[in-house]
Amino acid sequence: MRQKVKKLIVTFDNTTDAMAFEKACHSHDMPGRVIPVPRSISVSCGISWSVPLEEEERMRRFVEEQGLAFEGYHYAEVY
């Protein structure tokens, strides 16, 4: 049985930003995947990007360098 793991969750104001973020991450081999926004985080468009905590610094640098639009960074336990 899978266990929940604490991860960095990137949220977005709208679906367009979420899709652009996903495309940028895939084209640059950045870690993570699209997931529904966890219930413990009640903001954004409903789509989020889940990142392993060990990749947090790399992801934050990437987002800044690429100038990607996002709502915020959060932490949540997810599968």
Residue 1: its pLDDT value, please? 87
Question: For residues 34 and 22, is the Cβ–Cβ distance under 8 A?
Answer: yes
Domain ranges of the chain: 5-78
d(CA 70, CA 5): 22
Burial classification of residue 70, based on how many CB atoms lie within 10 Å of its CB (0-12 exposed, 13-18 middle, 19 or more buried): middle
Q: Read off the pLDDT of residues 8-65 as tens digits, 9 standing for 90 and up.
A: 999 999 999 999 999 999 999 999 999 999 988 976 689 999 999 999 999 999 999 9
Angle subtended at Cα 58 by Cα 55 and Cα 60, rounded to the nearest 5 degrees: 105
Q: In the numeric block, which tokens belong to residue 62? A: 């990437």
Q: Which residues pair with 74 in a beta bridge?
A: 9
pTM: 0.94
Q: Which residues pair with 34 in a beta bridge?
A: 49
pLDDT at 72 exceeding the cut of 90: yes
Q: In the CATH hierarchy, which fold is given to the domain comprising 5-78?
A: Alpha-Beta Plaits (3.30.70)
